Structure formats: C-alpha cells, structure tokens
Chains A and B, each alone.
Chain A
Amino acid sequence: MAHPAQLGFQDAASPIMEELMYFHDHTLMIVFLISSLVLYIISLMLTTELTHTSTMDAQEVETVWTILPAVILILIALPSLRILYMMDEITTPTLTLKTMGHQWYWSYEYTDYENLCFDSYMTPPLELDPGELRLLEVDNRVVLPTEMSIRMLISSEDVLHSWTVPSLGVKTDAIPGRLNQATLMTSRPGIYYGQCSEICGANHSFMPIVLELVPLKHFEEWLLSTLE
C-alpha cells in the first residue's frame, strides 16, 4: 500500500513492475543529467557579458543540439519498447478472473472450474477493525495464487472505471461494452491494494481493490470453503 505523502513507486511484487522500476530509474538518471546541464546553462546566462547581435548562423551548435536530443530519445526509447513488448507477451494463463466495474464497487467472477461470483465493496471507516486501512479495505478480497500467470478480463456495467494495482504494475480501463485483458503474475504472497483510477462519479474514491495472493494450496482451500 502507499504511505502518506508518498511520491515514489510502491515496492514491486511482480516481474513487470520490477522492470518498470528499472526503466524509471534509467530515465530518471537521464532527466537528472539534462536538468543539471540546463541549470548550469541558466547560471551561465545570468553572468555573461558576451553578446553578439549580428549572428547569422551557428552550424556547429545547431548540429549538436539536433543530434544530441535524437541520441537521448533513442537511449530512452529502446528500453521503453522492450518493456512495452514484454508487457504484451503472450502467455498461457492458468486461471482467468473476470472483473466488472460498477458504481461504486467491483464484482469478480471465477468461472474456470465452478461458478464463483461476488461483489467487493469498500469497508466504511466506521466499520473498520483496529489496524485496518481507511478507504482501502473491502468486505470481500480477491484471492489469487502466487507464481502463476492469471488472465484478468476487465469491463464495466455502467461508466468508465479503471482497475489498478500499483504494486503489480497493472492499470487497465474498465470500459462498458468492451473487454480488456491484463495478465498478472506475482512473485510473492501478500495483500496488495489499489483504487479505481478513472473518474466515475461521486464515490469514485471509495471503490478500492484488494488482492490477497496466497500459495496455490491455500487458494484451493479458500475456493472450496467459499463454494460450500
């Protein structure tokens, strides 16, 4: 989950999110160097007495400031494309989970083996137990197995929503009349929180997502106990 006033990413819980963080570090270093250069040039501009009012051309500097940004863009674009294609890799998912966005809750359907459907409403602050997180807890969590490729099919029954779990690097729009697919794969068990990321009305901020990732054995036990 996010800490108060957090600016950076949450800890990565999936290989894709790890790759996204590495790419972010790479791009941030380039941005930092460009910012340093610009700051230095600004400080030079403030302290120079060099003025030349009849400059006609400046071939060398124009060549440099054309080639250099192109090189910088290539340095950023190559890792970006790599991770873009990595996110769209075709895998063979072992489980499919359908989620529908509503105003203002999510509903989930596990229909691979048995027909399990439930709604997931935010727990109101007055009903929270001590230690629970305000505006993030739900009444029914989504339980999934770890270290398995899971297909998410995301859509909406009414208006636009967006199903987001920052720790897993997933953000997919829930669009009425359209089925979007995302692939989840977590490296470790845990509870991962997310919130609706597309404005959808008065309670847009009050329809969180909670994933409980457990080992396969515990997932099977949960499935059996829920179906009973």
Chain B
Amino acid sequence: MAAAPEPGEPGKGKPFKLLGILDVENIPCARDSVLYGSLGSVVAGLGHFLLTSRVRRSCDVGVGGFILVTLGCWFHCRYNYAKQRIQERIAREGIKNKILYESTHLDPERKQTNSDSSN
C-alpha cells in the first residue's frame, strides 16, 4: 500500500532481524525484552561464575537467565501494551460519541448530569 520509493530517494533499509526471524525494530516490546534479557543473562551468568568459578555451568545459567528474563519482560510489556490499546480505543470511542451526539438526547454528558441531579 505504501508507494515504492522514487529513483534517487533513499529507501527504508531492511529491518534487522535476530536469528533472521525476530524483527526487533517493528515488533512492540521485542527490543526491550531482548535487551533486558541480555542484561539478565550477563548478570546471572557472571554472578554464578563469581560464586562458583564453574565456567560451563555459568554459561548454562546465563542462557537460562536470558530465556526467563526475556519471557518475563515480554509478557509484562505486552500485557501493558494491550491494556493501553484498550484504553486508547475507549478514549477514541468516547471522543467520537461526544462529537457525534453533543447537545442531543444521546449526549453521554447530559445523561450523566441528569443522573447526578436526580440523585
């Protein structure tokens, strides 16, 4: 649907994909999750190594930490993103209804004022 770039116009570069599949630039929450996961991996792996001096096991802990932290951040971020989308939709509908029904008997503010005055 977007027009192809005209000759001479700089086109958008190909998006960067981790392992060739995960588009971290365009998928919401992907970049943050992977970055936090990497941080968690380094902290967990390094911490385990400092405590035990076992290299191989520390690498395993690092990978496990990466997976757990990435997954945790991902679900947390996506949950908040979904909540935000719902709130945006409610706000959008509210603005649309307000504009559409202002000063008619269907005006949501008028209904609310009537119920307040009757109470």
Contact = CB atoms under 8 A, between A and B. Distances in A.
B19 A35 contact: yes
Interface in A25-75: 25-26, 28-29, 31-33, 35-37, 39-40
A29 B22 contact: yes
A124 interface: no
A22 B66 CA distance: 22
Interface string B1-22: 1101000000000000011011
A40 B27 contact: no
A137 to B, nearest CB: 14
A125 interface: no
A10 interface: yes
A3 B2 CA distance: 8
A192 B1 CA distance: 7
A167 B30 CA distance: 22
Contact of A191 (B1, B67, B74): B1
Contacts of B18: 32
A48 to B, nearest CB: 9
Contacts of A22: 78, 82
A11 interface: yes
B84 to A, nearest CB: 13
Nearest to B66: A36
Contact of B67 (A1, A3, A31, A33): A33
A40 B66 CA distance: 12
B1 A32 contact: no
Interface in A93-130: none
A32 B111 CA distance: 51
A177 interface: no
Interface in B44-86: 63, 66-67, 70-71, 74, 78, 82
B94 interface: no
Interface residues of A, number: 22
B28 interface: yes
Given A10-B1, A25-B30, A167-B1, A33 B21 contact: no
A11 B1 contact: yes
Contacts of A1: 1
Contacts of A32: 18-19, 21-22
Interface in A1-17: 1, 3, 8, 10-11
Contact of A29 (B2, B33, B63): B33
Nearest to A32: B22
B21 A36 contact: no
B27 A28 contact: yes
A75 to B, nearest CB: 9
Contact of A33 (B23, B27, B28, B70): B70
A119 B82 CA distance: 41
A117 to B, nearest CB: 28
A201 interface: no
Given A29-B33, A29-B74, A167-B1, A35 B67 contact: no
20 contacts: A8-B26, A11-B1, A22-B78, A25-B28, A25-B30, A26-B78, A28-B27, A29-B22, A29-B27, A29-B71, A31-B21, A32-B18, A32-B22, A33-B67, A33-B71, A35-B21, A36-B66, A190-B1, A191-B1, A192-B1
